[in-house]
């Protein structure tokens, strides 16, 4: 029975993964992600249902668009598979099974639903940041809304004594949002650093403080390694350094989200054992 559940969750994860690729492409372009049908970015032909089946469509179409024969980047397939695997790992990490669902374990089910929404938020933030070195505020806002609803559930239903901890984080979020919206907009400054802090606060609201501490620590080490390797590659290059090579930015949000997701699942395996 549990294997059937995990298979269904894997399939659901691949569907989410397909949506992530759409969201990562459209959100920076300010395009609709809910009502407009998917289309090929090369020929703009609207895709049919059979063109959008996660994993299988890519395989059966040979990794090419059915209409213009343009090759589809393999990262789309990999993201769908990765999303399915992550969803299953998260489910197993919190010991969710058919028995707990049939018994109506609302606390576990609520945590599971919120977890999937949180994972979806991190996936989209990481994908956009990796491609554009930018953290989209609407995605962060979606994460905050989901976590706030979950906090209200904990307060009303579970009577969580740690509610004041969440209130403090929400106050910090509101303060940073006001600063980001009013002051930085007037000064026309880049608010990427503020956005990174907002993502960290989102992580604090859903995960444990120790997870966030490890997330920041490992992220800093990863960024240091990234910059070191980049410098080594540039130093060994026989070509003249261009301004783009010298000023390459590091996708901090991408590394933070990836590491936090990995630590969240690992921590759950320890806590829920």
Residues 124-133, mean pLDDT to the nearest whole number: 93
Question: How far is it, in rounded angstroms, from Cα 265 to Cα 8?
Answer: 19
Share of the chain above pLDDT 70, in %: 90
Entry field: residues in the chain:
273
| One domain, residues 117 and 213 | yes
Does 98 fall in a domain?
no
| One domain, residues 31 and 152 | no
Q: Per-residue pLDDT for 240 more than 60?
A: no
Q: How confident is the model at residue 35 (pLDDT cuts 50, 70, 90)?
A: confident
User: What's the pLDDT score for residue 80?
Assistant: 92
Does 222 fall in a domain?
yes
Angle at the Cα of 98 (from 87 to 270), degrees rounded to 5? 55
User: What's the pLDDT score for residue 75?
Assistant: 86
What is the per-residue pLDDT across 10-25, written as a single tens digit (0 to 9) for each? 999 999 999 999 999 8
Q: Which of 119, 136, 153, 59 is nearest to 257 (CA)?
A: 119
Is the distance from CB of 211 to CB of 264 less than 8 angstroms? Answer: yes
Residues 51-64, mean pLDDT to the nearest whole number: 86
User: What's the pLDDT score for residue 244?
Assistant: 46
Structure tokens at 61: 């179409």
**Mean pLDDT, the chain, whole residue set:** 84
| One domain, residues 185 and 72 | no
Q: Per-residue pLDDT for 173 more than 80?
A: no
Residues 260-266, mean pLDDT to the nearest whole number: 95
Does 100 fall in a domain?
no
What is the per-residue pLDDT across 179-233, written as a single tens digit (0 to 9) for each? 766 666 655 555 788 889 889 988 988 888 889 999 999 999 999 888 888 777 7
Which has more pLDDT, 94 or 47? 94
| One domain, residues 233 and 120 | yes
Does 214 fall in a domain?
yes
Residues 93-120, mean pLDDT to the nearest whole number: 90
Question: How far is it, in rounded angstroms, from Cα 199 to Cα 203?
Answer: 6
User: What's the pLDDT score for residue 36?
Assistant: 80
User: What's the pLDDT score for residue 237?
Assistant: 62
Structure tokens at 27: 């959100």
Is the distance from CB of 214 to CB of 261 less than 8 angstroms? Answer: no
* Structural domain ending residue among the three candidates 67, 93, 119: 93
Q: What does the CA dihedral 50, 42, 65, 119 come to, rounded to 10 degrees?
A: -60
Residues 164-193, mean pLDDT to the nearest whole number: 70
Question: How far is it, in rounded angstroms, from Cα 93 to Cα 9?
Answer: 13
Q: Per-residue pLDDT for 239 more than 80?
A: no
* Structural domain ending residue among the three candidates 27, 61, 93: 93
* Structural domain ending residue among the three candidates 70, 93, 116: 93
Which has more pLDDT, 16 or 236? 16
Is the distance from CB of 227 to CB of 55 less than 8 angstroms? Answer: no
The pTM of the full predicted model, rounded to 2 decimals, is 0.87
Structure tokens at 260: 């936090």
**DSSP secondary structure string, the chain?**
-HHHHHHHHHHHHHHHHHHHHHHHHHGGGT--SSSSPPB-TTT-PBP-GGG-STTHHHHHTTTB-TTT-PBPPHHHHHHHHHHHHHHHHHHHHTT--HHHHHTT-HHHHHHHHHHHHHHHHHHHHHHHHHHHS---HHHHHHHHHHHHHHHHHIIIII--TTHHHHHHHHHHHHHHHHIIIIIHHHHT---HHHHHHHHHHHHHHHS-HHHHHHHHHHHHHHHHHHHHHHHHHHHH-SSPPPHHHHTPPP-HHHHHHHHHHHHHHHHHHHHT-
Where in the sequence is the domain holding 42, given as residue range(s)?
Answer: 1-93
User: What's the pLDDT score for residue 181?
Assistant: 66
User: What's the pLDDT score for residue 159?
Assistant: 76
Count of domains in the chain?
2
């Amino acid at each position: 029975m549990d294997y059937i559940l995990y298979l269904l969750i894997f399939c659901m994860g691949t569907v989410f993964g397909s949506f992530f690729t759409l969201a990562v492409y459209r959100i920076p372009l300010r395009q609709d992600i809910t009502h407009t049908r998917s289309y090929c970015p090369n020929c703009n032909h609207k895709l049919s249902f059979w063109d959008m089946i996660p994993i299988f469509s890519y395989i059966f179409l040979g990794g090419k668009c059915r209409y213009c024969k343009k090759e589809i980047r393999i990262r789309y397939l990999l993201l769908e598979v990765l999303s399915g695997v992550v969803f299953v790992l998260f489910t197993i990490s919190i010991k969710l099974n058919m028995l707990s669902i049939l018994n109506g374990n609302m606390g576990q089910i609520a945590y599971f639903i919120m977890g999937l929404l949180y994972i979806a938020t991190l996936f989209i933030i990481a994908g956009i940041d990796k491609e554009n070195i930018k953290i989209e505020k609407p995605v962060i806002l979606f994460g905050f809304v989901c976590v706030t609803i979950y906090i209200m559930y904990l307060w009303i239903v579970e009577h969580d004594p740690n509610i004041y901890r969440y209130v403090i984080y929400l106050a910090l979020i509101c303060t940073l949002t006001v600063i980001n919206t009013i002051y930085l907009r007037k000064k026309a400054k880049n608010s990427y650093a503020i956005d990174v802090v907002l993502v960290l606060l989102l992580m604090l609201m859903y995960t444990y403080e120790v997870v966030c501490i490890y997330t920041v620590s490992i992220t800093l080490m990863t960024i240091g390694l990234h910059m070191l390797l980049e410098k080594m590659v540039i130093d060994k290059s026989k070509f003249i350094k261009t301004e783009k090579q010298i000023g390459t930015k590091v996708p901090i949000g991408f590394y933070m989200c990836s590491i936090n997701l990995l630590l969240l699942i690992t921590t759950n395996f320890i806590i829920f054992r």
